[in-house]
Amino acid sequence: MKVGIDSIAFSTSKYFLKLETLALHRREDYEKYYVGIGQKQMSVFPPNEDIVTIAVDAAQKAVAEIADKNDIDMLIFATESSFDLSKSAGIYVHHFLQLKENCRVFDIKQACYSATAALQLSKSYVMENPSSRVLVVASDIVKYQPNTSGEPTQGGAAVAMIVSKDPRILTLEQYSGIHTTDVMDFWKPVYKNEALFDSKLSVYNYLKSLNIALKRYFDASNSSISDLDCVCYHAPFGKMARKADQQTFRNKFLENSLIYGSLIGNSCSASIYVCLLSLLDNTPEDLDEKRIGFFSYGSGSVAEFFSGIVSRGYRKMLSPERNFQMIENRMEISFEEYERFSSAASMPSLSKYQNIGSVTLAKIENDKRVYAASC
């Protein structure tokens, strides 16, 4: 039985900051951002937008592509940006999508790897329950301390995927190469708002993990690099994926997969699936029945290399015009507004900010997050 991605959609903020603007105010050469890390813009999130609001928007679009949302009996929310150590962010998505009560909902965490863990878990679940569908949502908003090397890689997005039998976009293959090791390259203590990182160690461990996971994938599948038609990499910034590709594949489709990420910045758990959407939307060649390799990496660290076969007629399930319009219709903000967004300790004048979708964070009252329909 074929199991994989039947529907996919993504969402990001209504606002963005040009890295040219950031470079000017940080007294950096813009080439350091554009060439050095391969980024052009970053999505920036106002106080009334969070991982739930963008997740709902992405999920509504993905669910609209299936005949009956009552077939969804599991929702997995992958994130490293959770605001609650107890209640699942997925519960809010379940509520706003009005999914049935007989539905498992939970969050899953392991840095940027978590969405891949959710996808593999979903595949196994559908294999055992062929009439079921699973909604996987990856949603992250990335923030670093000002004036650090991580600042120009900030961003965020949500990707929602429906996993089912007879998938119309991508069939997941059975083989994987996995590498897990304890390393402190990136971490976010519960008492801090921003992540901490060792950038050189993170790049080193990413590339080392790629070599190991890829070899294990080839050993398990009895295949070689020539059996792959293209590869999507976890791309916290474009230059990282380019380094990985130079080391392994030299993929002619690589740049197509990096277009969206260069404009929205790092989206952590969603990043590799933003790359998949960018590849499918922006590759003019027909990818029917092509084998795509995926390298997923989550600091700390867990890495996995796996593959999937693109479904015949996959273009019918894509919405490139909608995705282009969403990115093009974002509003550019000034550096001063960016700083206000970044330092907002409270939620003033929320009505002045637009939302990407149908749900907004209305207020935080008595330590409870209150969401409402967007105006």
Just list the catalytic residues. Answer: 80, 112, 234
Residue 327 one-letter amino acid: I
State how far Cα 281 lies from the chain centre. 16
How many CA atoms lie less than 13 Å away from 262 in the CB half-sphere? 20
Question: How far, in Å, CA of 40 to CA of 354, rounded?
Answer: 23
DSSP code per residue over 206-232? HHHHHHHHHHHHHHHHT--GGG-SEEE
Rg (CA), the chain: 19
- Residue pair 244/295 in contact (Cβ under 8 Å)? The answer is yes
Residue 132 one-letter amino acid: S
Going across the sheet that includes 291-298, the strands are 104-108, 72-78, 133-142, 155-165, 3-11, 170-180, 302-310, 291-298, 230-233
